[in-house]
Structure 1
Amino acid sequence: MTSKAKTIVFGVLTAIAAAVCVRLGIWQLDRLQQRRAQNAIVVARGEAPLLSVADLRGQDTSITHWRQVQVDAVADYEHELVHATRTQNGSPGVHLLTPVRPLDGSWGDTAILVLRGYLYAADGRTVDFGKARESDTLRLKTLLTSFPPIKAGQARMQSSPRAMRLLNPDTIATLIGRPVAPFVLLALGDTIMTDITRPSRVPPPAVTEGPHLSYALQWFGFATVFVIGFVAFARTKRR
């Protein structure tokens, strides 16, 4: 292959590589726009008026997701569970899941699952449920969140009957002995731990733009490097 032919082949490969990098950069910018649109929805819903638990009956949770909800309910501490192997500020622990029964009776026998907070647990699953109790009747401001997508595998930890590896609503309903509402309410409040036997609230998900902009700049930078490298190569060959 002649020197000119090698330069042409190198140029074609460089153009393809640069085009792929540019396309990936544009894709990241599209992801950024989607993230910003989603953030705008989250912020708007967070600033909307409080809903009551009764308002959620029959609602599409995709519409009420991230809305704040006022909870006045009786706690079912006997059927509390934990979401195992959670962390907060680098410490191992669990998320405390408390079934509650609204005082207005709007949900009948269906349990509303409230994530009351984080509890320290050295092994990531064992806690003293008795010490973690609050009042029998809970009055909480909460954030409506959804159950995570169902994954394959054992939802319940065999070594700890009240610990969940995966938040599967069907498994939870079986464990507590009654139906479970199709959402989880995240209790809002003080996230600072002052007593390792008492739950501290779990911070709501942060509204950020993520790494999409930096990734886009990186891809555009790679494309620029490819082009500059080819130009330098071509000039060297001509000399």
Structure 2
Amino acid sequence: MRSYRFLLSRRWLVFAVIVALLTGLAWWLGQWQFDRLEDRQSRNAVVRANETHDPAPVEDVLAPPGQGLDVDHEWRVVNATGRYDVEDTVIVRYRTRDGIAGVDVVVPLVTADGTAVVVDRGWLRTENAGTATVDDVPAPPSGTVTITGWARVDGTGASTEVEEQSTRAINSARIGEALDRTVYGGFVDLRSEDPEPTATLEPRPLPELNNGPHFFYGLQWWFFGVLAIIGFGYLAYDERKRGPRGERARAGRVVAGSAAQPGSPAPAPREKKRERKPRQTNVPSEYQRRR
């Protein structure tokens, strides 16, 4: 039986480096999934806590104009009273639900001091995700309206740009700039309106408060890392016990060819094929079937 000195060869050192890199990558990906699980659990805890609070005035929860809403206040129930400015309605495109095209309808609610609350009134089904206009959506209640809804953190990135009262993600600051209005930081997902509108929109569903697949994904990545180490160890043990696989293959070919060397026993003679005897028949030869 050989020693493990072959592990110091270039071939095995390169193999060991590759296995180490794969194992490190699997460990990092697994830890990333567990970090995502922890973030999700923290977010779920915030949502559960905020959902149990009584509705609070919007000015006590949303951020002052020009500032962003604290994530710890997201999904807190708020209420506000004011008048909808229908002319400043903003359409949020590409809001598909269960494979059905639709848009969200955002209308600023102007409060008594002139500061507007960006309100996502709900989802409207459309023929195409980007074809709805302000004229296509049902009007909100007129006059003084009291709303309740969930405080939400603004979206970020290029998708929040507002062009011709249309956007792809809600950002209160961007909407305020486009409409030339002073708005609170953050927006509100509508839950109810008083008085009720003639035509209602579908409200946004509440977030799912499960842990998602992150735990099992993390275990899978760590399992792949352990499997790589076990595979390396098995291959090393196999080579120590039986030698390199290439040498084994050459040895097998030599053994197979050694049977033809001088002095080796001759192969057994093949059995001769029996000669077919003429078939005895009384039928004349000219009427017999030719084979």
Long gaps (5+) in structure 2: 193-198, 243-291
> Relative contact order: is structure 1 or structure 2 higher (C-alpha 8 Å, sep ≥ 6)?
1
- Pair 1:51–1:17, CA change in 2 (3 A): same
User: In structure 1, what is the equivalent of residue 190 of structure 2?
Assistant: 187
Give TM-score scaled by structure 1 length: 0.79
Larger Rg: 2
User: In structure 2, what is the equivalent of residue 61 of structure 1?
Assistant: 69
Alpha-carbon distance, 1:180 to partner: 1.7
Q: What letter matches 1:132 in structure 2?
A: P
Q: 8 Å contact 2:92–2:103 — kept in the other structure?
A: yes
Q: % of aligned pairs identical?
A: 26
User: In structure 2, what is the equivalent of residue 83 of structure 1?
Assistant: 92
User: In structure 1, what is the equivalent of residue 247 of structure 2?
Assistant: none
Deviations 1:46-65 (A, max 9, x none): 21221112423766731422
Of 23, 30, 35, which residue of structure 1 is paired with 2:28?
23
- Give the SS at the match of 1:216: helix
- Pair 1:228–1:91, CA change in 2 (3 A): same
Q: 8 Å contact 2:92–2:106 — kept in the other structure?
A: yes
Q: What letter matches 2:234 in structure 1?
A: A
User: In structure 1, what is the equivalent of residue 115 of structure 2?
Assistant: 110
Give TM-score scaled by structure 2 length: 0.66
Alpha-carbon distance, 1:13 to partner: 3.4
User: In structure 2, what is the equivalent of residue 34 of structure 1?
Assistant: 39
Higher strand share: 1
Deviations 1:73-107 (A, max 9, x none): 322222211111211221111100011123xx2xx
Distance 1:7 1:57 in 2: 61
Of 76, 79, 91, which residue of structure 2 is paired with 1:70?
79
Long gaps (5+) in structure 1: 190-196
Alpha-carbon distance, 1:146 to partner: 1.8
Q: 8 Å contact 1:121–1:127 — kept in the other structure?
A: no
- Give the SS at the match of 1:118: strand
User: In structure 1, what is the equivalent of residue 227 of structure 2?
Assistant: 225
Alpha-carbon distance, 1:127 to partner: 4.4
- Give the SS at the match of 2:95: strand
Alignment of 1:129-208 (within 5 A): 129=135, 132-136=138-142, 137-151=144-158, 155-156=162-163, 161-188=164-191, 198-208=200-210
- Pair 1:24–1:123, CA change in 2 (3 A): closer
